[in-house]
A and B are shown apart, each in its own frame.
Chain A
């Protein structure tokens, strides 16, 4: 097992008085893909959002417990949240490129981080688009609107935009659920490639996608972490009956 990138200890999240996550403890290894699965409302997206403190943006949220990234407690009062989100990029279910050119979408993050030299920005844009496996498709139209691309291409532009600020961790919240099978295959192949350089955490409702793309799988139910293990174990011989029932579609 590789080094631990994220160490979560007894994490509970409350929306008002409603407990969304109940004392979750988990170790997420570096440069691996970890998938979160579970029925809607089980807390997996809430948990994902605690990893870049996106829940801070929601009123009435209370968080207990600790989330350590490397040797930093990300909920410590001295932590710079903007800096944290630079280190922890996020890809959403629906691709959300800015209404700008492809180039500007990618260069946006580096620019607000103070990079202004055109040559340097060009390099970052090219490298990010290459890493996101979309360079060949867009290199001749970098200054066209990103909104003119297909859904699958837009999602890869969003991934490139995330990579441009050089994160350590990439969070993906159902990144392929709105894509056709070919675009999904592109995104999955990309995940496989990106894990060489980044720690990836993916929330998915697609069991086969979790099985195909991840090294570890965590099953959540009713705000609890039921089971976490190697993906191959979860999908061939899970320890808990609840996990087995869920992955084989016998829930409820």
Chain B
């Protein structure tokens, strides 16, 4: 009974890690689709998107089963509750990355515009954040999670500043308006991914320390 329960917890952690890997590769792919002029669309993004959705459903079922059969408490309870939430956050990250890939065709021919607005560093910051968040979850590292929370704040500010820069360019140069509109959507998407990573980092702190950071840093 006990070892069965432990196995279920390990299974849950592995599935979340798989979701992290898939979401990370979707973001990598979104980056390439926007920045690489030679990027060729295929079914990979759709296949990954479906795998993420399936894992999310499987995690729902697994958590439901654990709650019903093992009645977890304390750290186990916080881990399962949070993993359920984290799976939903990763699923949303996957959706957003997929949306970027779908919209990327418009931006792809203009790498110099992307450089001008520093989109590449924004993307790589988000890629790094995904990897670090996955690491914090995998290793139950609440200190790293707190660092991520700060990095997310910084990233959101960078997104806002690029956003403002684009708006000001749009008012000055009418020829950038078309591409800038799509760029704004991408930046918004990167900001939303950052928000989801922030929620995940808060959940990691909750799992490890039992403290709720959720919404506190918005007050």
Contacts and interface: CB of A to CB of B under 8 A. Distances in A.
Contacts of A236: 73-74, 77-78, 210
Interface string A210-240: 0100000000000000000000000111100
For A207, A244, A249, the residue with the greatest tally of chain B CB atoms inside 10 Å of its CB is A249
B67 to A, nearest CB: 12
Interface string B1-39: 110010000000000000000000000000000000000
Contacts of B77: 235-236
B2 A208 contact: no
Interface string B65-102: 00000011111111000000000000000000000000
A250 interface: yes
**Majority-rule SS of A interface residues:** helix
B73 A207 contact: yes
Nearest to B81: A236
A237 B5 contact: no
A232 to B, nearest CB: 11
Nearest to B72: A248
Interface in A165-223: 207-208, 211
A208 B74 contact: no
A235 B73 contact: yes
Contacts of B78: 236-237
Interface in A111-152: none
B2 A211 contact: no
B69 to A, nearest CB: 12
A190 B77 CA distance: 28
Given A236-B210, A237-B210, A250 B2 contact: yes
A237 B74 contact: yes
Contacts of A207: 71, 73
Assign chain A's interface to a size class. Answer: 10 to 19
A208 B71 contact: yes
A247 interface: yes
A236 B76 CA distance: 9
A165 B6 CA distance: 49
A237 B207 CA distance: 10
B74 A235 contact: yes
Nearest to A244: B74
A236 B73 CA distance: 6
Contacts of A248: 72-76
A6 to B, nearest CB: 26
A238 B210 CA distance: 9
B2 A247 contact: no
B74 A247 contact: yes
Contacts of A249: 1-2, 5
B63 to A, nearest CB: 16
A250 B5 CA distance: 10
Interface string A64-100: 0000000000000000000000000000000000000
A247 B75 CA distance: 10
B2 A238 contact: no
Contacts of B2: 249-250
A238 B76 CA distance: 12
B74 A238 contact: yes
Contact of A211 (B73, B75, B210): B73
B167 to A, nearest CB: 45
A207 B2 CA distance: 15
Nearest to B6: A250
Interface string B101-126: 00000000000000000000000000
A207 B74 CA distance: 12
Nearest to A233: B210
B212 to A, nearest CB: 10
Contacts of B75: 244, 248
A209 B29 CA distance: 51
Given A236-B73, A248-B75, 4 more contacts: A244-B74, A244-B75, A248-B72, A249-B2
Interface of B: 1-2, 5, 71-78, 210
6 contacts: A207-B73, A211-B73, A235-B73, A237-B74, A237-B210, A248-B74
